[in-house]
Amino acid sequence: MEQLREFLDYIRLNRNASPHTVAAYASDLSQFVAFAGEYTGKRTALRPKHLDLTVIRGFLADLHRERQSRATVARKVSAVRAFFRYLRREGVVEDDPASLVVAPKREQKVPAHLSVDEMSQLLETPDVSTPLGRRDRAILELFYASGIRLSELVALDLEDVDLPGRMVRVMGKGRKERIVPFNQKAAGALRAWLKDRVALTQGDALFVNARGGRLTGRSVQRLVARYVSSCSTRFGISPHALRHSFATHLLQAGADLRAIQELLGHVRLSTTQRYTHVNVAQLLEVYRKSHPRAHKS
């Protein structure tokens, strides 16, 4: 469908959507359009005017029959809604039937994270007697010190890092730039790595492989998984879990939620509120120490 290609170009060029976001929209909406073609019997002659409320509800029913998760269904509904908003704004359709569809509420799962002790152990795992071990220590330290995303870390160039000022310039989602501080431990690890980096590349990338090429997200995922498995029996600890650990530990130490929002680069505070999980035992301990009547019998 021509309008689908135009919509994908629109979000990429006008909304600064990341390649990952564009790919997700393309996948979800291609599935919707394919279903609509089958449902209406207009596989080769499908037009936006054929995409009515009945088709959308049929698509949702099909997803439920496939036992898709609530999160998956909600994401696909969001994509369909965005597509129809675009079609209406461009004057392609007069009505927006997708606005009448209620998406299922997403399950609020708490992402995996490490405790302070587990994080300290992980940071000590790389063999810093080797250049790549020093690189890996710098990667882990920077993840935990700054809370940046995996995509942001692998996109970093040398010029983005201010070692004396202990700040890093990050290009986040929607190509929004932010400045994030990091601590002395991360600065020391970065200095050690930069001495080795000179022998591997004259390029721009901050983190490179043994051949001097920019590290990929997949490579960083693998190295994080390798170090976690060597010091822990935990599963599901990804680079994002290190970001989550960063936010969780700041919050537990009393950091303001809005400050954490700025550090993480979240547009909405509601996104940051996912990080406000504090276990019941800790809440009880805080209550016993803080409430004026908690010690009275």
> Coil, strand or helix: which one is 98?
helix
DSSP state of 161: E
Known catalytic residue at 234: no
Q: Which of 76, 149, 244, 249 is catalytic?
A: 149
DSSP state of 119: H
> Coil, strand or helix: which one is 179?
strand
Residue with tokens 């810093």: 128
Please give the Cα distance from 246 to 178 (Å, whole number): 17
Known catalytic residue at 64: no
Known catalytic residue at 57: no
Please give the Cα distance from 211 to 203 (Å, whole number): 12
Classify the phi-psi angles of 113: left when phi > 0, otherwise alpha if psi is within -120 to 50, otherwise beta. Answer: beta
Q: Which of 12, 47, 166, 240 is catalytic?
A: 240
Known catalytic residue at 173: yes
| Structure-block tokens of residue 174 | 């929607």
Known catalytic residue at 50: no
Please give the Cα distance from 126 to 178 (Å, whole number): 29
Q: Pick from 92, 104, 114: which is nearest to 48 by CA?
A: 92
Type of residue numbered 185: K
Q: Which of 76, 135, 197, 243 is catalytic?
A: 243
Q: Which of 81, 88, 169, 173 is catalytic?
A: 173
Is the Cβ–Cβ distance between 292 and 126 less than 8 Å? Answer: no
Known catalytic residue at 249: no
Q: Which of 76, 134, 197, 266 is catalytic?
A: 266
Hey, which residues does 171 pair with through a beta bridge?
A: 177
Please give the Cα distance from 71 to 124 (Å, whole number): 36
Residues that are catalytic: 149, 173, 240, 243, 266, 275
